[in-house]
Amino acid sequence: MAKKPKNKRRDFLQLSTVTLGAVGTAAFIWPFLKSMSPAEDTLAAGSTEVDISAIEEGQSITIKWRGKPVFIKKRTKDEIEAAKMVQAGDLRDPQDDADRVQKEEWLVLVGVCTHLGCVPLGQKVSDMKGEYDGWYCPCHGSHYDTSGRIRKGPAPKNLDVPPYTFLNDTTIKIG
């Protein structure tokens, strides 16, 4: 067998070569993995301005923002009351109604069920609205209340509130 010092030198060379090779391979794989992430133009998808002057009390519209449906609802007095009555502590995803709206008659939500991404029903008068009179997801039976909070069913979280600002009394800018 070879002498000890010689072995050490060989071990070192072998180990450093293998390490360099592994790092190099990882560095080579990275661009391929990263190329699957959303591209720059996808990320740059901008904001949307919506005219809300025509929405009557109790009415709700659906607009498209970054490929997703966004619900804009002008809530009735009863619906606002119902949303405020709820103790946040009792909810699966505790949140006060006041934390989910800027003006309490206007509710703005991303219309995507937090379970598996279906669009909940409840936008049309004829739709099922679920047991809490808000939205109902037909795919796997999640019920949302008049603040878009999850009350029953498999969804883990409340419907998302997108970033938005009131440009004036009749225009909302989403995004």
Partner 1 sequence: MDQNRKVHQFKNPVLNWIEFRLPIISYFKKEYGDYPMPKNCNYFWSFGALATITLVTMIVSGIFLAMNYTPHTDMAFDSVERIMRDVNYGWLMRYIHSNGAAFFFIIVYIHIVRAMYFGSYKYPRELNWILGVFIFLLMMATSFLGYTLPWGQMSYWGATVITNLFSAIPFIGEGLKTWLLGDYNVGNATLNRFFALHYVLPFVIFGVVGLHVAAVHVHGSNNPDGIDIKTNNDSVNFFPYMLIKDTVAMCAFGVAISAVIFFGPNLMAEVDNYIPADPLVTPAHIVPNWYLAPFYAILRAVPDKLGGVLLMFGAIVILFVLPWLDRSKVRSCNYRPIYKWFMMGFFVNFFVLGYVGMLPAEGLYLLIARVGLLYYFGFFFIITPFVGWIEKPSKLPLSISDVYTKNIAPNIGGGEKGMPAPAMQKDTNL
Could you give the residue numbers annotated as active site? Answer: 140
User: In whole angstroms, how far apart are CA 167 and each of 49, 50, 151?
Assistant: 9, 10, 32
Q: State the Cα–Cα distance between residues 168 and 125, nearest whole angstrom.
A: 28
Is the CB of residue 51 less than 8 Å from the CB of residue 171? Answer: yes
Residues 154, 115: contact at Cβ < 8 Å?
yes
Nearer to partner 1 by C-beta: 21 or 163?
163
Which residues are near partner 1 by CB under 8 A?
Answer: 33, 36-39, 42, 62, 64, 66-69, 111-112, 115-120, 137-141, 153-156
40: amino acid identity, one letter: E
Q: How far is the CB of 98 from partner 1 (least distance, A)?
A: 26
Q: Which CB, 65 or 79, lies closer to partner 1? A: 65
Least distance CB 112 / partner 1 (angstroms): 8
What is the DSSP pairing of strand 171-174 with strand 164-168?
A: antiparallel
- Beta carbon nearer to partner 1, 21 or 156: 156
Q: How far is the CB of 81 from partner 1 (least distance, A)?
A: 29
Total residue count of the chain as it appears in this document: 175
Strands 48-51 and 106-110: unpaired
